[in-house]
Structure 1
Amino acid sequence: MLLLFDIDGTLLVRAADAHRRALHAGIEEVHGVQAPDDDIPTAGRTDLAIMRSLLLLCGVDARAIDDGVEATVSAACTAYARLCPPDLSQTVAPGVPEALAGLVAAGHTPALVTGNLEPIARLKLRRAGLGEWFASGPGGFGSDHEDRSELPALARRRAGDGRPVPREAAVVIGDTPLDVACAQADGVRCVGITTGPHPAADLAGADVVIDAMADLAGVLAAWHA
């Protein structure tokens, strides 16, 4: 089974401060405006969508945003490399390393479907001590598309051997309604997890909702049976 994990709120908790500051730094460097600290929802959204919303709030027009996307992404990733703490191991959600080890031993393939820009996602996981579980190729990232609903299909294509991993052989694991929505958009199953800001009721569209990563292996085994 191809397991498409979200990062923030799912694999890691309270690891977003440097990430937020890096997006703001990228916006300021390229567009010369200081983005507000709040006023927009961020949970489950892609970094491209978050930066667009912040820039629109600052009065930057849509064409300038589009023209500056590559430069803003590059500046944000460079800023994150500077701002990211050297050790994020304390942000790993309970039971995640043990769960990943067990899932791989059982023959599953972990990959990422995350709103993070890919360089930010990779560095964040390396510094949290989880980078070894996620191969450099497969995955869908916030730098691939502004719309998160496009990412599961992209991840399945990248993980396939010449053709996409079948929908029935993939599952999204995430902590927000947008994780659930992106799974539904691609027609793959979804496991919601309540380790992030959303209670189980908010994740009701998922096929299953769990409270801890340790519960995931049992869900997958039941589906297999």
Structure 2
Amino acid sequence: MELIVLWDIDHTLIDNSEVSKEIYAAAFASLTGAAPTRPARTGGRTDRLIMRDMFVLDGLPEPEWAVVEAALARAGEERFEDLRRRGTALPGVRAILKAVSVRSGWVSSVLTGNIAANAHVKVSAFGLDALLDLAVGAYGADALQRPDLVTVARERAQRLQGVREGVPVVLVGDTPRDVEAALATGSGIIAVASGIHTAEELAAAGASEVLPDLSDTARLLQLLETYAAR
């Protein structure tokens, strides 16, 4: 049985301890010469949208995306040690990623609003990168809207890992946007209430499976196997 499992990063795999918002603010300041008037609004949105909104809210023209992405990557790299010191991998994450990584026919990667460089910073800060196939992931530079990232990840899995067309995809994430992306693309969804959204909010968004976190490895594997068998 084949399966593509796509994990969100922030508040699903790791707690970034506000380092993410510091990255956005630093990138903004490096491009404008001034701090943003308000913190970045994240909540499952892509980096392209997050940074665009920051410029709009401050009444500034948006630089070319390549320039913005480079500024984000520099800011992320500069905060690697801060992230490792202040942040943490969330409960059960290492165990479930390891268990999924050894399943025959399963591809385990990320679907995240972060640009690829900063996604790598975040998972490698806690030694999770070796448990994920990051090459087939979908990132915040790949599309404006989260549902479009599912297609990106599926195509990369087909091209790079030889995954057959039509293999089930499951998203694991902590925001209503993760749920919406799954529903919009016919993917499975396992929602986790390990971020700012409650189990009730995630269920209201349409998630049929909501867990408190990723600590129950056996339950998670059971759910994933159910999707793989479809």
TM-score by structure 1 length? 0.88
The alignment partner of 2:90 has SS state of: coil
**Structure 2 match to 1:29:** 30
Deviation for aligned residue 1:165: 5.1
Q: What amino acid maps onto 1:150 in structure 2? A: D
Shift of 1:178: 0.3
Alpha-carbon displacement from aligned partner over 1:110-130 (angstroms, at most 9, x marks no partner): 111000111000111111110
Counterpart of 1:93, as a letter, is L
| Aligned equivalents of 2:166, 2:208: Cα separation in 1 | 14
Whether 1:184 and 2:202 are equivalent positions in the alignment is no
What is the aligned-residue RMSD (CA, Å)? 2.1
Distance 1:26 1:90, change over 3 A: closer
**Paired letter, 1:71:** V
2:97 and 2:132 in contact (8 A); partners too: no
Q: What is the aligned partner in structure 2 of residue 97 from structure 1?
A: 94
Go from structure 1 to structure 2 and tell me whether the alpha carbon gap of 1:69 and 1:93 turns closer, same or farther (over 3 Å shift): same
Q: 1:224 deviation in Å?
A: 4.5
Cα distance 1:22–1:224, how it changes in 2: closer, same or farther (>3 A)?
A: closer
Do the aligned residues in 2 keep the contact of 1:88 with 1:129 (CA within 8 Å)?
Answer: no
Query: Which residue of structure 2 aligns with residue 9 of structure 1?
Result: 11
Give the corresponding residue for 2:80: 84
Q: What's the counterpart of residue 201 of structure 1?
A: 200
Cα deviation 1:35-58 (Å, max 9, x = unaligned): 1343x6311111111111111111
Q: For the structure 1 residues 35 and 164, does the alpha-carbon distance in structure 2 shift closer, same or farther, using more than 3 Å as the test?
A: farther
Query: What SS does the aligned partner of 1:70 have?
Result: helix
Counterpart selection for 1:141 from 139, 142, 160 = 139
1:43/1:118 CA distance change after superposition, 3 Å: same
Question: Would you say 1:222 and 2:220 are equivalent positions?
Answer: no
Identify unmatched segments of 5+ residues in structure 1. Answer: none
Q: Name the CA shift for 1:53/1:156 in 2 (closer, same or farther; >3 Å).
A: same
1:96-118 per-residue CA deviation (whole Å, 9 max, x = no partner) reads: 11111112223322111000111
Match runs of 1:15-164 below 5 Å: 15-38=16-39, 41-60=41-60, 64-65=61-62, 67-85=63-81, 87=84, 91-107=88-104, 108-161=106-159
Q: Is the 8 A contact 1:104 1:110 kept in 2?
A: yes
Calculate percent identity across the aligned residue pairs.
28
After superposition, the C-alpha distances for 1:2-22 in whole angstroms (9 at most, x for unaligned) are: 101000011112x15222222
Between the aligned partners of 2:226 and 2:146, the Cα distance in structure 1 is 28
Q: Distance in 2 between matches of 1:224 and 1:3?
A: 10
* Aligned partner of residue 173 in structure 1, secondary structure: strand
How many pairs are equivalent?
A: 219
Cα separation, 1, equivalents of 2:86 and 2:59: 38
1:141 Cα offset (Å): 0.5
Runs of 4+ in 1 over 3 A off after TM superposition: 161-168, 222-225
2:190 alignment partner, SS class: strand
Q: TM-score, normalised by structure 2?
A: 0.86
Inter-CA distance 165–198: structure 2 relative to 1 (3 Å threshold): farther
